[in-house]
Structure 1
Amino acid sequence: MANLDSIFHGLADPTRRAVIAQLARGPAAVSELAAPHRMALPSFLKHLKVLEAGGWIESGKAGRIRTCRLRPEAAKAAEDWLGRQRSLWEARLDRLDSFLETLNDIGETDDA
């Protein structure tokens, strides 16, 4: 499995995100994946290499056709990391909220 840097690098470009979205509907040939994008095939293939390095896709060749498929493990790793970050920030925000409520209670006591 690729590391998180490679996984998020795969998501860092709109072309690569579009490829991931297209592959979420099922495997596709490289030519099908490249068709909606206005770039030369060698440039598009660089995007596929980034996605493969990030663990987002795998490809195989049958005859002259190279087909790509999505690997859900990369999404799971990204989701797990984001979930841990969400929990961390929610805890921090809860502590901040408690602190602000304490300050508010102190201010109300001083006004009385």
Structure 2
Amino acid sequence: MSKKIMQEYLVLGGKHHGDVWRGVYPAMGLNLSKQDERFGQFYDREGQQKIELSRKEQYFISEWLSPEGHTFLLATAEDLTEFNIEEEIGRITPPLRPLDCSIEDWI
């Protein structure tokens, strides 16, 4: 049995812009309704509350490589070219956890 590791996703665009969600990786896309549980493993940053989305909300999952060489996960509702991703990641407190950091680095 493999252990599922929850990763952090920065949300860009839409009404959840700037939120940090936690979910398993990889996730192909996020287009949920209350009846659709295929990608229902996204939670708030503390991992306590499931993210509920309307049928009209659609997010796409992508990886972004920072200039320092770290990979970050993004859930985007709009075209990524509309955002300064490095600046958006810099606004997150505590800092967004990159995909490529070790599990021991994450409390």
TM-score (norm 1): 0.27
In terms of Rg, which structure is larger?
1
Q: Which has the larger strand fraction?
A: 2
In proportion to residue count, which structure has more helix?
1
